[in-house]
Amino acid sequence: MQNNTKGKAIAALILGIASVALPWFGFTSILAIVAGIVGLILSIQARKPMDENKGMATAGLVLSIIGVVLSGIMLVCTICAVCAVTSAASSLGSLAAYY
């Protein structure tokens, strides 16, 4: 049973790292949110029965929390940037038609 929890801790750590790294690439924030949520679930499951190597599960938990928050912020920023560029392009198009 300990090997199963160790595997969950390793997976949670990897997903936590991915959820922190992915938001910096635009709309991959959606994937980062999913990775962070799965990492949260796995790290909580891995922390309960395990006494040793609990640090890896805790690191996965912390990274997953940071990743989900960062992904949410970056997703909102990406959507705002796309809307701003679209609005500016629309304004320039109507301005060019005016002249």
Question: Closest Cα to residue 37, out of 56, 53, 58, 60?
Answer: 60
Q: What is the mean pLDDT of the chain?
A: 86
User: pLDDT digit string (tens) for 48-92?
Assistant: 876 666 888 899 999 999 999 999 999 899 899 999 998 888 777
Q: How far apart are CA 79 and CA 20, in angstroms?
A: 19
Give the range of the structural domain holding residue 52, as residue numbers without chain letter.
Answer: 2-98
Q: How confident is the model at residue 2 (pLDDT cuts 50, 70, 90)?
A: low
Residue 66, pLDDT score: 96
Contact 90, 46 (CB under 8 A): no
Q: How far apart are CA 89 and CA 99, in angstroms?
A: 16
Residue 94, pLDDT score: 67
Q: How many domains does the chain have?
A: 1
> HSE-up of 84 (CA within 13 Å, CB side)?
6
Indicate if the alpha-carbon torsion angle 34, 43, 21, 79 is positive or negative.
Answer: positive
The predicted model scores a pTM of: 0.81
